[in-house]
């Protein structure tokens, strides 16, 4: 029962869509109604409000980190094992993808996944972030960078953590992230994906 409670709470935390919340606070249009229709930081950036986009990015990453951090801090007190904490990590991510508070219309999970990875192991999160930054510097396409980082994350996880519940949960997490980027993959293959700084068209990753 405690594990179910932890997982449910993580899902609810993940369901806080900061793209929608921040946009409303700034008086901006709902990010699900323009651009890529994706409630993420990149789409919010299309409004020209850099602060709103930054707050969206930080909020989405922070909720992923917070859910896993709290689970790591309190799980042992309630008899929740490593597998339960790993389930929390997946649940907060799924909450971001399919938020119950916003008609299950969520983002693609890049920022939230980063927060989760940082909470699991700080060097894991930083290594994946470095992979994203390097790919972005080379190709200037956020979605491609996200796909490269997501593909590398399980390998980095197994290298740093070995084979355990935490490294194993990275696999379905990244598989979901890649699946959510189907439209980006199609755009990349057809040469229609927007580069960073392009406010028109494309699909946004976070």
Structure tokens at 166: 């935490």
Half-sphere exposure of 113 (CA within 13 A, CB side): 32
pLDDT at 78 exceeding the cut of 70: yes
Once rounded to an integer, what is the mean pLDDT over residues 34-46?
A: 92
Band (39; pLDDT cuts 50, 70, 90)? very high
Split at pLDDT 50, 70, 90, the class of 66 is: very high
Rounded to an integer, the average pLDDT of 42-58 is: 95
Handedness of CA 84, 89, 94, 96 (dihedral sign): positive
- Residue 72 corresponds to which tokens in the numbers above? 């790591």
Mean pLDDT across the stretch 77-99?
97
The pTM of this model reads 0.93
179 has a pLDDT exceeding 70 = yes
Task: Name the least confident of 31-40, 57-66, 84-93, 166-175.
Answer: 31-40
Q: State the Cα–Cα distance between residues 17 and 99, nearest whole angstrom.
A: 7
Distance between CA atoms of residues 3 and 9, nearest Å? 10
Cα 39 to Cα 47, 108, 170, distances in angstroms: 12, 8, 23
pLDDT confidence bin for 195, thresholds 50/70/90: confident
CA 47 – CA 20 distance, rounded (Å): 13
pLDDT at residue 160, as a whole number: 97
Q: Distance between CA atoms of 45 and 9, rounded to whole angstroms?
A: 29
In the predicted structure, residue 201 carries a pLDDT above the cut 60: no
N-term to C-term CA, the chain: 32
Identify the CA nearest to 118 among candidates 69, 85, 154, 178: 69
Give residue 35's pLDDT.
Answer: 87
- pLDDT for 197: 59
- Tens digit of each residue's pLDDT (9 = 90 or more) over 133-152: 999 999 999 899 999 999 99
Query: How confident is the model at residue 23, as a pLDDT?
Result: 97
Higher-pLDDT residue of 194 and 90 is 90
Q: Report the candidate in 74, 18, 10, 15 with the shortest Cα–Cα distance to residue 43.
A: 18
pLDDT category at 206 given cuts 50, 70, 90 is very low
**Integer angstrom CA distances of residue 113 from 2, 55, 75, 90:** 24, 16, 20, 9
- Between CA 7 and CA 44 the distance in angstroms is 29
């Amino acid at each position: 029962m405690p594990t179910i409670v932890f997982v449910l709470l993580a899902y609810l935390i993940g369901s806080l869509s900061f793209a929608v919340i921040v946009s409303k606070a700034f008086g901006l249009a709902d990010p699900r109604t323009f651009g890529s229709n994706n409630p993420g930081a990149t789409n919010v950036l299309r409004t020209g409000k850099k602060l709103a986009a930054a707050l969206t990015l930080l909020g989405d990453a922070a909720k992923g980190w917070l859910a896993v951090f709290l689970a790591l801090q309190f799980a042992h007190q309630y008899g929740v094992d490593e597998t339960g904490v790993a389930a929390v990590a997946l649940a907060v991510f799924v909450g971001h993808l399919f938020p119950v508070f916003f008609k299950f219309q969520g983002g693609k999970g890049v920022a939230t996944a980063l927060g989760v990875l940082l909470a699991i192991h700080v060097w894991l999160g930083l290594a994946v972030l470095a992979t994203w930054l390097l790919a972005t510097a080379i190709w200037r396409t956020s979605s491609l960078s996200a796909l490269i980082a997501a593909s590398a994350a399980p390998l980095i996880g197994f290298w740093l953590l070995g084979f355990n519940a935490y490294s194993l949960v990275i696999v379905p997490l990244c598989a979901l992230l890649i699946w959510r980027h189907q439209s980006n993959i199609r755009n990349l293959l057809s040469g229609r994906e927007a580069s960073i700084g392009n406010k028109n068209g494309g699909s946004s990753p976070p």
